[in-house]
């Protein structure tokens, strides 16, 4: 399997612009997670889906952030409007349905908001 695929790998944008990050989970994995990593806060869980349904979005920082999973092979994380404090590496991860719950991460999307 190709693993979790994220795009873009790098994004530089200006404050106020809309940012869309994309993720393709590992085929057959029923759980999908979005994490954010910063120096100050480490790895934070933003939201996760089970069978395409959002289960817990309590980590989403504010209304400017939204995430969707229209089908089992695709998810987006959108920030609108973006702010400099959103600069971070955003990771998508997936996990199989089975009890183990092992996480497999994508390579991340590094976002810089100027």
Partner 1 sequence: GIQVEQSPPDLILQEGANSTLRCNFSDSVNNLQWFHQNPWGQLINLFYIPSGTKQNGRLSATTVATERYSLLYISSSQTTDSGVYFCAGKAAGNKLTFGGGTRVLVKP
| Residue ranges that bind partner 1, judged by CB under 8 A | 42-43, 45, 48, 56, 89, 91, 93, 100-105, 107-108, 110
Q: Are 54 and 32 in contact (CB under 8 A)?
A: no
State the nearest-atom distance from the C-beta of 2 to partner 1, in Å.
14
Between the CA of residue 114 and those of 13, 84, 85, 96, 100, what are the distances in Å? 6, 6, 9, 37, 40
- Which CB atom, from 71 or from 100, has the smaller least distance to partner 1? 100
Closest separation between CB of residue 16 and partner 1, Å?
27
State in angstroms the smallest separation of the CB of 100 from partner 1.
6
Are 1 and 94 contacting, i.e. CB atoms less than 8 angstroms apart? no
């Amino acid at each position: 399997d190709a693993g979790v695929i994220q795009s873009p790998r790098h994004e530089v944008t200006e404050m106020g612009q809309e940012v869309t990050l994309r993720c393709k989970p590992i085929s057959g994995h029923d759980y999908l997670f979005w994490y954010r990593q910063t120096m100050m806060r480490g790895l934070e869980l933003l939201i996760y889906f089970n069978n395409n349904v959002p289960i817990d979005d309590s980590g989403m920082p504010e209304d400017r952030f939204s995430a969707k999973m229209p089908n089992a092979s695709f998810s987006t994380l959108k920030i609108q409007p973006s702010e400099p404090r959103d600069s971070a590496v955003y990771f998508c991860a997936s996990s199989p349905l089975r009890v183990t719950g092992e996480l497999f991460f994508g390579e991340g999307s590094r976002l810089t908001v100027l």
